[in-house]
């Protein structure tokens, strides 16, 4: 019998004995034949996919997020990371004025353009390195990547305190310090997914609030330090933040299973398809997100670099320009806490609508900056801008988890941040160029408000695309289930018919 080839040898032998017994004359031949058929039916009726289903169920319950415990300390460490990295970047407007006085000349027509490259290059490199950081995070783990990055950032910032011209500053501050910050920053987002799932939105809000707290305090600290000890010693004081960041990276204890990079041949170099995860690009929703967010950011960083200089030119050097950064920092902190909690109650990809709203408001507020002829108007604009800046930042990771899943989130965030590097880098120098040529910042701020509005409009497509994808997956899944049921019924019926033919 051909059907016996699909069974173990012991079962096939027992069936042969049963068939031999069926041809022996006996008074209960009919009963034995019915008993034989029942034995056969019971054997073929056992579904083979049961072990696979059990394995899948076992995988689902394999890991449970602790939702706290050591995770709270990890959250505080990640919060310090966000604060020290982006607090320094957001306060660059204060350093920008000091760099103009230290390395520039009032007769230099391109002074603001060249100086703005220091801060914009630094911010851009943080995001440009992100795809490489995501690969290192997958291979080396969050702890090694974060600690190593903080050490490199410390070296770059310390080296920046000894340079005496803009040229070396591009390398030490714009590249070395920024690359170190990039390697320290991204693991702080990924490690949170090891400890939190239900509270991930809230925790991300708290963590990203760290940069708001530092943005509130650093402008006043930097203004005092620059006035008393100068630019170079101020940078040496900032090195303390990077040293503490290096210590904070040691708390990133991973919980999710670690993928060993060792291949079957024993090589420590994994195949390229494991190094660069291309599965994320199969999601149309992620592709739209990866285009829309960078498109919105060409004007995003312009106020952080040029707002201080604009205030000084408009309201005089006596204006308390640090108050504006403080306002952005305070409401950004509030926005991250509020919208981080709100994101936990917004289903699936609909979280994108929060980001769309934030881009619309940020764009409109950028356009409002030149229209404010009184200082109180600028304060109101900065309060709103900070509130929705916090919304944009805190839901980055939750949206990535929704679009690509937890397994691919590291490189999904990394590639997105890498794409964000170009607009974050070129925006401020373009604004500085317009200021040098036109004599004021009005056109620069008007143009800075257009990209966020355009990018937000593009992101509106994501919930529709994701809803359509889920409907298609549901239909295909139902078809697969129906097809498997039909195949299973045929597999049960065919052995019965063939058994009957061999018996007779």
Say how far apart CA 388 and CA 301 lie, in whole Å. 14
Joined tokens for residue 445: 């701020």
Neighbour count for residue 153 (Cβ, 10 Å):
30
Model pLDDT, residue 425: 82
Question: Per residue in 343-376, is it b (16+ CB within 10 Å) or e — as a string?
Answer: bbebeebebbebbbebbbbbbbbbbbbbebeeee
Say how far apart CA 349 and CA 326 lie, in whole Å. 32
Say how far apart CA 381 and CA 383 lie, in whole Å. 5
* All domains of the chain in start order, with CATH: 65-256+282-459 (1.20.1250.20)
Say how far apart CA 209 and CA 497 lie, in whole Å. 70
In terms of Cα–Cα distance, which of 181, 96, 125 is closest to 431?
96
308 contacts 101 by C-beta, under 8 angstroms: no
342 burial type by CB count under 10 A (0-12 exposed, 13-18 middle, 19+ buried): middle
355 contacts 332 by C-beta, under 8 angstroms: no
> pLDDT per position in the chain (504 positions), as tens?
434 434 444 444 444 444 344 444 444 444 444 444 444 444 444 444 444 444 444 444 566 767 778 889 999 999 999 889 988 887 887 888 788 888 765 556 677 778 888 888 888 888 888 888 888 887 888 899 999 999 999 999 999 999 888 888 899 999 999 999 999 988 888 888 888 877 777 787 788 778 878 878 888 888 888 888 888 899 999 999 999 999 999 999 887 765 544 444 445 555 665 566 677 888 888 899 999 999 998 888 888 888 888 888 888 877 787 788 888 888 888 888 888 788 878 888 888 999 999 999 999 999 999 998 888 899 999 999 989 988 887 788 788 888 887 777 777 887 888 888 888 888 888 888 888 888 888 899 999 999 999 999 999 999 898 888 888 888 887 777 787 787 777 777 766 655 555 444
Say how far apart CA 399 and CA 414 lie, in whole Å. 13
């Amino acid at each position: 019998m051909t059907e016996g080839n699909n069974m173990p040898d012991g079962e096939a032998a027992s069936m042969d004995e049963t068939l031999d017994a069926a041809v022996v004359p006996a008074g209960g031949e009919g009963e034995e034949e019915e008993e034989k058929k029942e034995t056969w039916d019971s054997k073929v009726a056992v579904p083979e996919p049961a072990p696979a289903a059990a394995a899948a169920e076992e995988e689902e319950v394999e890991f449970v997020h602790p939702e706290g415990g050591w995770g709270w300390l990890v959250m505080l460490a990640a919060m310090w990371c966000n604060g020290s990295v982006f607090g320094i970047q957001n306060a660059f407007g204060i350093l920008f004025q000091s760099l103009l006085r230290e390395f520039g000349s009032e007769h230099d027509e391109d002074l603001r353009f060249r100086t703005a490259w220091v801060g914009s290059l630094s911010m851009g490199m943080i995001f440009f390195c992100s795809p490489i950081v995501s690969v290192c995070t997958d291979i080396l783990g969050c702890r090694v990547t974060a600690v190593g990055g903080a050490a490199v950032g410390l070296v770059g910032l310390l080296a920046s305190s000894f340079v005496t011209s803009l040229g070396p500053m591009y390398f030490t501050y714009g590249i070395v310090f920024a690359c170190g910050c990039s390697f320290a920053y991204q693991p702080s987002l990924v490690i949170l997914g090891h400890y939190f799932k239900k509270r991930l939105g809230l925790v991300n809000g708290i963590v990203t609030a760290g940069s708001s707290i530092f943005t509130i305090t650093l402008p006043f600290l930097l203004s005092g330090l620059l006035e008393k000890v100068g630019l170079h010693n101020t940078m040496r004081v900032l090195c303390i933040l990077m040293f503490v960041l290096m210590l904070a990276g040691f708390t990133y204890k991973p919980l999710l299973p670690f993928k060993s990079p060792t291949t079957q041949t024993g090589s420590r170099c994994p195949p390229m398809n494991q190094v660069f995860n291309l599965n994320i690009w199969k999601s149309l929703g992620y592709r739209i997100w990866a285009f829309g967010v960078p498109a919105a950011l060409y004007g995003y960083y312009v106020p952080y670099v040029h707002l201080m200089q604009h205030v000084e030119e408009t309201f005089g050097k006596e204006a308390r320009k640090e108050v504006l950064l403080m306002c952005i920092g305070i409401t950004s902190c509030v926005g991250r806490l509020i919208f981080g909690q709100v994101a936990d109650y917004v289903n699936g990809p609909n979280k994108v609508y929060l980001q769309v709203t934030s881009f619309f408001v940020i764009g409109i507020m950028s356009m409002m900056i030149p229209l404010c002829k009184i200082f109180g108007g600028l304060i109101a604009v900065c309060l709103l801008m900070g509130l929705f800046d916090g919304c944009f930042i805190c839901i980055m990771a939750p949206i990535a988890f929704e679009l690509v899943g937890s397994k691919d989130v590291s490189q999904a965030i990394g590639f997105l941040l890498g794409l964000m590097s170009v607009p974050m880098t070129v925006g401020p120098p373009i604004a500085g160029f317009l200021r040098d040529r036109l004599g004021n910042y009005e056109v620069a701020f008007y143009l800075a408000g257009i990209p966020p509005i355009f990018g937000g409009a593009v992101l509106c497509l994501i919930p529709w695309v994701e809803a359509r994808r889920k409907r298609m997956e549901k239909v295909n899944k139902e078809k697969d289930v129906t097809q498997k049921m039909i195949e299973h019924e045929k597999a049960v019926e065919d052995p019965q018919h063939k058994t009957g033919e061999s018996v007779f």
